[in-house]
Amino acid sequence: APRAMEAVRDVDIDPQGTFKYILVRLQRPDGSDRRDIVRGTAAAEFHNHIFEKVNPEMEKLGYECKCLGGGKIDHNSKDKKIRVFGLSTGYGKADHSVTVEILKKVYTDYEITWSDDKK
């Protein structure tokens, strides 16, 4: 379904708190229709738990998924601030600058920053 891409949200993260996140590349098996999405939740103890949930959902829609790396997100909804930092031991560090650009599409009125800090 060509509309499937629109049904996939750019960002799905917890509304508050500090939690692990991953940057995931979706693409059609034929290489068309490629995009990156951000997924993060405090429910995931490890980064691969997030990927293991996202992957089957996206495969059902006809996408191949690749994890481009991970890190942490500190989401302060009260002050409208998001900080992206850290890395994933298993997947390596995501390009946080890419993550920030994706977050900005959704959280348009937020102050969004990133750093390579571990904490």
Residues tagged in the binding site annotation for substrate: 20
The answer to whether residue 87 sits within a structural domain is yes
Asked whether residue 86 is domain-assigned, the answer is: yes
- pLDDT tens readout for residues 22-52: 999 999 999 888 999 999 999 999 999 999 9
Q: Is residue 59 part of a domain?
A: yes
Sole residue written with tokens 């920030």: 100
Q: Which of 47, 49, 75, 96 is catalytic?
A: 47
**pLDDT number for residue 83:** 98
Please report, for the domain that includes residue 106, its CATH number: 3.50.20.20
Q: State the pLDDT confidence band at 3, using cuts at 50, 70 and 90.
A: low
Residue 98: strand, helix, or coil = helix
pLDDT at 1: 47
* Number of domain units in the chain: 1
Domain interval for residue 34: 11-115
Does the residue 1 lie in any domain?
no
In tens, the pLDDT along 68-119 reads 999 999 999 999 999 999 999 999 999 999 999 999 999 999 999 999 988 8
- Tell me if 81 sits within 8 A of 99, measured CB to CB: no
User: Which residues in 57-88 are b (16+ Cβ under 10 Å) and which e?
Assistant: ebeeeebebebbbbbbbbbeeeeeebbbbbbb
Judge whether 94 lies within some domain: yes
Question: In the annotation, is 49 catalytic?
Answer: no
Whether residue 4 lies inside any domain: the answer is: no
5 occurs within a structural domain = no
Classify residue 37: in a domain, yes or no: yes
pLDDT at 6 over 90: no
Asked whether the beta carbons of 44 and 50 are under 8 A apart, the reply is: yes
